[in-house]
Structure 1
Amino acid sequence: MASAPKRAATALALLLAGSVVPGAWAAGAAGVSQGAATCEKPVYLTFDTGHMGVAPLVADVLKRQNVRVTFFAAAERTQTDGDSLDDHWAPWWKARAAEGNEFGSHTYDHAYWRADVKGTPPSFRIKPSAGPQDGKESTWSAAEYCANIRKSSDRLAAITGKKPLPLYRAPGGKTSPALLAAAEGCGYKYAGWSPAGFLGDELPSEKFSNAKLLTQALGSIRPGDILLAHLGIWSRKDPWAPANLEPLIVGLKAKGFCFETLRQHPDFRAWIASHP
């Protein structure tokens, strides 16, 4: 019988050739799991919230492939006429916690930094894309920004029973040194993503096909990279996750990569330990 890595490599090759039906290759690839002892070529898969339309599929793939990830959550508008941290989605988040995944804040109102406002103490021009101030730009103090980070973290703790990591991700990756200092001052370190880890699920599918994005990711991701995807993007016509998530995981495993959460990332270990 072929080894698990060989089965995964064969499955990926068939998938890229378009000659395997969905699900048929996944069973063979599922035997390639995370190493229990050491992870010599780690990558760190992370998901930000979105419309949550692909959230059930993402959960199924992660369980089947025995992969743990870090989720950054905001209360974003969903296809279920609520938000991604409401009671409808609470059981989904709780189940992910039980599986050993980690969590961090994405700000509660998916609040975009727009600019620093001169003055002491610092304040910031912020434009949320969710919540009661959706689409409205206003000035927030450092304390108000911190409160919005904390609100998401507190909500995650309440619905999962697990304390999130003392990490946050600013929507769009938009930050400034003053904003990062303000967040660290209230206990949250910023977690971005690696250039090669931008998986492209936000990009227009008319210009960036799923096949192109998968080939690019498999060719460019290196050990230590933080990867970024979403639980649903409104603007992309051909969703990324159904076509690419499992092939990406299988392909990276076939190349000797393993998956860890940001709790294990060397840039964050000391911070997490000092902010229990």
Structure 2
Amino acid sequence: MQARAIAALVMLASGAPVLAAAPAACKATAYLTFDTGSQSQAELIAATLNKHAIKATFFLANEKTVRGDWSLDPSWSAYWKARVAEGHAIGTHTFDHVYWQQDLAHGAMLVKPQFGAHGGQKQTMDAAAYCRELRRVDTRFVELTGHHIDPIWRAPGGHTSPNTLAAAQACGFRHVAWAQAGFSGDETSSEKFSNAQLLAGMLNHLKDGDIIMGHMGIWSRKDPWMPANLDPLIAGLQQKGFCFATLREHPDYKKHP
């Protein structure tokens, strides 16, 4: 995780959330996004979104899960089909959760996949290979659900570069980062950043148009963020007059005629 993200949490986690006494009319829009991870919170996320009747955006990679399978295995087909039926947006997170390391000459890049045949090994990709890595998620998603993903992507760790952005744009994908206040902190140390602190920071600082980022399960955090904070975050923002939408409705990503 980037040091600037941790530094931002120190600032954001101060103060107590100030909530309205009752839900207000929609005065702002927030965009919930979830990256795949251990998938330990997958069912909770789905249930919470349905409880509040809101839609979100999911960025998918083929990651190892707490069930012992992989997040884009056929065993997850029913889960992803249900999210499609509910109207959530789906983007690519690179199939093997490929971390960018360094830009090279002629549009190539040094990368390090976390999973797959080359997991943990540095390798060189040209723009065409990187595009194929992004599109592998779409190919698998069609196999699992019969539907294509949306033309958006998120780089693992949020680490982009001129070469990765150019390669993705050339094959039709726009990158989606997140707002400073939208960094959930679910991959930070729970000893340093408690769930209460993280929730307070987000409720106090999120503003209209902000993109929120969380994971569908993190292996490292001892006190998981999602069970404690997702429902209170949604309810708290709704009390402050926020509505929620997928990135299909975001002014920077929605399709124009």
In the superposition, the TM-score normalised over structure 1's length comes to: 0.83
The alpha-carbon deviation at position 149 of structure 1 amounts to 0.3
8 Å contact from structure 1 (residues 103, 156) kept in 2: no
Superposed CA RMSD in Å reads: 1.8
Q: Give the Cα–Cα distance (whole angstroms) in 1 for the partners of residues 171 and 256 of structure 2.
A: 16
3-state SS of paired residue (1:88): helix
Q: Deviations over 1:157-207 (max 9, x none)?
A: 332233211000000011111210111001111111111110111111111
**Matched residue, 1:21:** none
Deviation track 1:77-129 (CA, whole Å, cap 9, x = no partner) reads 111111111111111111111111110000000000000012x2x11001011
Report the equivalent of 1:195.
180
Alpha-carbon distance in 2 for matches of 1:125, 1:273:
34
Equivalent position to 1:239, from 224, 229, 232:
224
**Which residue in the other structure is 2:96 paired with?**
109
Q: Indicate the residue corresponding to 1:7 in structure 2.
A: none
Match of 1:82 in 2: 69
Are 1:249 and 2:234 an aligned pair? yes
Q: Are 2:214 and 1:204 aligned?
A: no
Q: How far apart, in 1, do the equivalents of 2:253 and 2:194 lie?
A: 33
Shift, 1:133, TM fit: 1.0
Secondary structure, in 3 states, of the residue corresponding to 2:204? helix
User: Between Structure 1 and Structure 2, whose CA radius of gyration is higher?
Assistant: 1
2-structure distance, mates of 1:40, 1:156? 35
1:5-47 alpha-carbon deviations (Å, 9 max, x no partner):
xxxxxxxxxxx99xxxxxxxxxxx9xx79x8xxx641110000
Match for 1:98: what amino acid? A
Unmatched runs of 5 consecutive residues or more in structure 1: 1-15, 18-28
Matched-pair contact (CA < 8 Å) for 2:127–2:163: no
Does 2:153 correspond to 1:168? yes
Partners of 1:45 and 1:161 in 2: CA distance: 24
1:43 maps to 2:30: yes
Q: Name the SS of the counterpart of 1:125 in structure 2.
A: strand
Please say if 1:223 is aligned against 2:208.
yes
SS at match of 1:79: coil
The corresponding residue for 2:5 is none
Aligned residues between the structures:
238
Secondary structure, aligned partner of 2:235: helix
Q: Quick check: 1:125–1:137 contact (8 Å CA) kept in 2?
A: yes
Provide the rounded CA distance (Å) in 2 between the counterparts of 1:114 and 1:232.
24
Q: Does 1:150 align with 2:135?
A: yes
After the TM superposition, which segments of 4 or more aligned residues of structure 1 sit over 4 Å from their partners?
none
* Inter-partner Cα distance in structure 1 for 2:211 and 2:72: 24
Aligned to 1:98: 85
3-state DSSP of counterpart to 1:82: coil
Distance 1:159 1:261 in 2: 21
Alpha-carbon separation, structure 2, partners of 1:157 and 1:45: 23
